[in-house]
Structure 1
Amino acid sequence: MKTIYIVRHAKSSWEYEGIQDIDRPLKKRGIKDAYLLANVLKDKIKKPDAFIASCANRALHTGIIFCNVMGFPMANLKISKSLYSFSDGYLVKTIRALDDAYDSAIVFSHDHGINTFVNTFGSKPISHVPTCGVIGIQFDTEHWKNIKSGKTVLKEFPVNHKD
């Protein structure tokens, strides 16, 4: 059994001029949402075996917050340049390449590809994964490279945890 948790990076800021897209930081709201959802996951799931983040500032910062809250060593957070991509295949390739020693992993990535992934591989249709949304999908396989249709086991969005 393999379980993947897909996290869309928290809300980022567009207010800075002259910086490249890859360098855009999180907004204050994004930071709050990342702490909120990390705490929700900490209490709801077993800590994943691997944490992988896109090299983009906003995804990496989201991943660091989750590492901090969930007690995962930041030194073991893997940073992936290929997750900062605007093609749909990057996420599938990243997940299928995971080490089979990991029974679970959490990936911090971007809008492009996440909706396609969760609707292709999950069992519940999800029209849109918002910023800092988390989707968990469990696969009945021993090898990541063999993932096919899975079962959606978690759907957590910030809006569901705010007063």
Structure 2
Amino acid sequence: MSRELLVLRHGKSDWSKPVSDVERPLKKRGKLAAQRVGAWLAEQDRVPDRILASPAERARATAEKCAKAMGLTQADVVIEPSLLDAGSEALAAVVSRCPEAVTRLMVVGHNPGLEAFLDWLLPEPPPVPDDGKLLPTAALAHFALDGEWSMLDAGAARLIEIRRARTLPEGFPYPFPDGSERRERPAYYYTQSAVLPYRWHDGVLEILLIGSSGNRHWSLPKGIVEPGLSPEDSALKEAAEEAGISGTISAVAPARYRQAKWGATCNVELFAMRVDSEQPEHAREEPQRSRRWVGPEQAAELVASDALAHEIRALSARLATGSTE
């Protein structure tokens, strides 16, 4: 039985952060490169049955970004501790333990171990490119194997190709009934959800606004509907991360509006959320974002988007009357 092995080196990491090696995050270009690899694999009908990733933040994030761009979820990425600092023998052991039901496996890890593993897999060393880099960041090596994973042996693989993320098409395919166009982000980025955080203070309805990522204007907690999560759960996740608040989604009907972003239009679903608790400033994940409780009309006046302002007024009116329509 023929099997396929995809070996992906993590994307470009961010050395500006004062963190340990295992905690080092991806740069923006590293995230986009991982997504481009995932989108390309989906276009080529090469989505893996199983994804294994090193526990290092840059490898885990690469695997998750790649998976989501393929239409998978974060839950489809399995963290394999032994991939951290793994050499060729350790990598071979990980692959050989793969369940036999898996026909296409992806392994996301690090150099120099991955390049040593490529040499181990092939009967002859692969040709080295002019720049001397066999597997630079966000490069993908694709192999064919015969037989069971457990029978993996040195020199038993055939190299199909090595792809570098920077050689893949710019942008991401966005599906339409009559074909597709390429946009700045993967398709799932354009479906978003948000919360309208509210409380009753001395019998008066108040709305919690937060500063934008650069604190240049006021907004609401909002983000991409994460693959594998419902719009409501994604909105609650954004509330916790961006505003440091938790609460309960109200029974009132959500609002909907559209917002231009990433070269296209995002469709946003806005849920009313009763705030049950607020984290202190020092404990917040994004303490740089300001927080401010205001009345509904002031909230509508302060946000930058007219469409959002209209929905704040409409949703606040439903909360004030207790209407679920």
TM-score by length of 1: 0.91
Give the 3-state SS of the residue equivalent to 2:136 in structure 1: coil
2:149 aligned to 137, 144, 149, which one?
Answer: 144
Q: 2: CA distance between counterparts of 1:158 and 1:116?
A: 20
Aligned partner of 1:122 in structure 2 is 122
Output one character per residue of 1:5-48: Cα deviation in whole Å (capped at 9) or x when no partner.
Answer: 0000000011112x110000001111111112211111123311
Judging by fraction of residues, say which structure has more strand. Answer: 2
Instruction: Supply the distance in 2 between the matched residues of 1:23 and 1:126 (Cα, whole angstroms).
Output: 33
Secondary structure at the aligned position of 1:13 is classed as coil
2-side partners of 1:37 and 1:73: how far apart?
Answer: 15
1:106-121 correspondence runs (5 A): 106-121=106-121
Can you list the C-alpha shifts for 1:124-147, whole angstroms capped at 9, x where unaligned?
Answer: 604320100000111111x10212
Distance 1:126 1:10, change over 3 A: farther
CA distance in 2, matches of 1:155, 1:27: 22
CA radius of gyration, larger in: 2
Contact conserved, 1:136 with 1:152, CA < 8 A, in 2?
yes
TM-score normalized by the length of structure 2? 0.47
2:141 maps to which of 116, 135, 140: 135
Do the aligned partners of 1:122 and 1:137 also contact (CA within 8 Å) in 2? no
RMSD after superposition: 1.7
Q: Give the SS at the match of 2:72.
A: coil
Contact 2:59 2:109 in 1 (8 A): yes
Give the partner amino acid of 1:8: R
Query: Structure 2 vs 1, CA of residues 2 and 111 (structure 1 numbering), >3 Å: closer, same or farther?
Result: same
What residue is the counterpart of 1:161 in the other structure? 168
Report the structure, 1 or 2, having the larger helix content: 1
Q: Which has the higher contact order (CA 8 A, sep 6+)?
A: 1
Secondary structure of the structure 2 residue equivalent to 1:129: coil
For this pair of structures, how many residues does the alignment match? 161
What CA distance in whole angstroms lies between the structure 1 residues aligned with 2:146 and 2:52? 22
* Structure 1 runs (4+) greater than 6 angstroms displaced: none
For residue 83 of structure 2, give the secondary structure of its aligned residue in structure 1. Answer: coil
In structure 2, what residue type is equivalent to 1:72?
L
Within 1, Cα distance between the matches of 2:45 and 2:138?
16
State whether structure 2 residue 18 is matched by structure 1 residue 11: no
Q: Quote the Cα distance in structure 2 between the aligned partners of 1:109 and 1:51.
A: 11
1:88-115 Cα distance to aligned partner (Å, 9 max, x none):
3221111011111101111110012111
Find the residue that maps to 1:82 and give its secondary structure: helix
Query: What does 1:30-45 align with in structure 2 at a 5 Å threshold?
Result: 30-45=30-45
Q: 1:54 touches 1:82 (CA, 8 Å); kept in 2?
A: yes
SS in 1 for 2:17: coil
